[in-house]
Amino acid sequence: MTRLIFLGPPGAGKGTQAALLAKDCEVPHISTGDILRSAVTAGSELGQKADHYMSAGELVPDELILDLIEERLGQDDAQKGWLLDGFPRNVPQAEFLQKLLEQIEQPTDFVINLDVADDVIVARLLQRGRKDDEESVILNRLEVYRQQTEPLIEFYRNRQQLVSVDGNQTMDAVYADLKRLVME
């Protein structure tokens, strides 16, 4: 079974790498964005609550995200493993996730941190050409990441769960490193 959490700054390649690895490991790639969209589409009670916030252009509260994660990890396809991407985003979410995983007896194998230098992140995101990918916005997103999400690196390092992978390589080289790590 494969149960991994992906961390890294925006533009590090978490989603791309997690999707590739999930396919090879035959487990679901679970991202908070996908969970929110699926719950809204399904019209579940949690989805309707999430839709209320999303339609108003507001952030979906942590409590609701946590409920959606719990619901998603309880689904049949997640029983043989999963790759979490974009969650947890802060230490309180990580603490909740630890308790939840103990409760449902699905411990994390390890947490992968895609380590990428800021200048590489900025260059990658500028190349994507999305309208919200201008340099000032990217630098702000990196600052928010440093403040809110980067403390997770220390959180998981203290639990001997963190493995860093050099994300400054080509996509194929990063994937080869990840595959070696997971398939060993």
What residues act catalytically?
A: 14, 89, 128, 130, 141
DSSP state of 149: I
Alpha helices for the chain (secondary structure H) = 14-25, 32-42, 45-55, 62-73, 91-103, 118-128, 135-144, 151-158, 171-183
* CA 157 to each of CA 39, 43, 178: distance values in angstroms, whole numbers, following the listed order: 32, 38, 18
Closest CA to 89 of 60, 47, 128, 50: 60
